[in-house]
Amino acid sequence: MTKKETQKVEEIIVCPECGSTHISRDYTRAELICEGYGLVIDDGIIDQRPEWRAFDSDQREKRSRVGSPMTYTIHDKGLSTVIGFKNTDSYGKSIPNRNRAQMYRLRKWQKKIRISSTMEKNLTNALPSINRISSAMGLPRTVRETAAMIYRKAVLKKLTRGRTIESAAAAALYAACRQCDVPRTLEEIANASNLSRKEIGRNYRAIVRGLGLKMMPPPPQEYVSRFCSKLKLSNDAQTKTLEIIKEATNQEIVSGRSPIGIAAASLYIASVLCGERRSQCEIADVAGVTEVTIRNRYKEIIGKMNIEITL
């Protein structure tokens, strides 16, 4: 199932696995989900609903889609003017004393505007980067807006100094994903942006610390539906995975460990138990962790939970 096919049958979407037309759109995660089969058909859908609500016809008219909505992802490309320091007008004539106070105020404002215009220049490069990476990943608008907002704050606090704009933008996007509960792995952002996972991670930490953002590690469950669909696992396996994760959480295996590793290991166990086995290698590939990590986690889990596994 390619993205193109999904978009072509936009009106009536049919699940490729079970033929069901009961498809729900989960816009917050940008996923199309078949309700019968539980399969994530497409994880790059675009939210086409209006972002606002209209309460009467007057508002509806005002808020209808004419022109583009206000957005953080478009910056003002206004040209900036510079006011010279000499007390002369454009003809070289001296400015009378009574006007000098006014000139002083103008210069003061000019300074402020100039500072913000270097920011605008930065944003001219960064915002398209954010847009490009997030469209490549099919992220919903809310995430882009959040990313743009985080990036603006980061620039204001001079946190982007000494970093490439591209990598700071990717880091802002990663932070936005997590804030919006649409977790994507560093690996996925790295692939979509031609940057290394390490670099994005480094910049991400700097931004989070600098802005004092409170980031909780995402629960392992958040990754399951996406990984399952990439591995073409059934609904049963997915349910089983969630059960295993829940139990692992109770057994206190989870804290301090990478949630992705937990999700991947649980997925491996569930795939074996449900007779839909995927190799550690396959899962490691999809989840972006190594087989070794999956092995270590799954040894721990089956050790604590008395699960018998026959290979």
Partner DNA sequence: AAGACGAAAGTGGTTGA
Partner DNA sequence: TCAACAACTTTCGTCTT
User: Which residues are 34's β-sheet partners?
Assistant: 23
State yes or no: residue 63 binds DNA (CB under 7 A): no
Closest Cα to residue 238, out of 14, 1, 7, 17? 17
- Nearest-angstrom CA–CA distance, 220 and 259: 4
Nearest CB to DNA, comparing residues 152 and 297: 297
Nearest CB to DNA, comparing residues 103 and 206: 206
DSSP letters for 241-277: HHHHHHHHHHTT-STTS-HHHHHHHHHHHHHHHTT--
- Measure CA of the first residue to CA of the last residue in the chain; give whole Å: 31
Query: Distance from CA of residue 166 to its chain's centroid?
Result: 15
- Nearest-angstrom CA–CA distance, 21 and 285: 31
Nearest CB to DNA, comparing residues 37 and 227: 227
State yes or no: residue 164 binds DNA (CB under 7 A): no
**Kind and range of the H or E run holding 61:** helix 57-63
Map the footprint of DNA across residues 229-248, applying CB under 7 A.
none
State yes or no: residue 216 binds DNA (CB under 7 A): no
Q: Which of 44, 201, 210, 219 binds DNA (CB under 7 A)?
A: 201
Map the footprint of DNA across residues 263-292, applying CB under 7 A.
277, 279-281, 288-292
Nearest CB to DNA, comparing residues 65 and 161: 161
Nearest CB to DNA, comparing residues 95 and 281: 281
- Phi/psi of residue 217, each to 5°? -65, 135
Specify the stretch interacting with DNA by CB under 7 A; choose among 1-9, 31-39, 121-129, 197-205: 197-205
Q: How far is the CB of 239 from DNA (least distance, A)?
A: 21
List contacts with DNA (CB under 7 A): 198, 201-202, 205, 256-258, 261, 277, 279-281, 288-293, 295-297, 299, 311
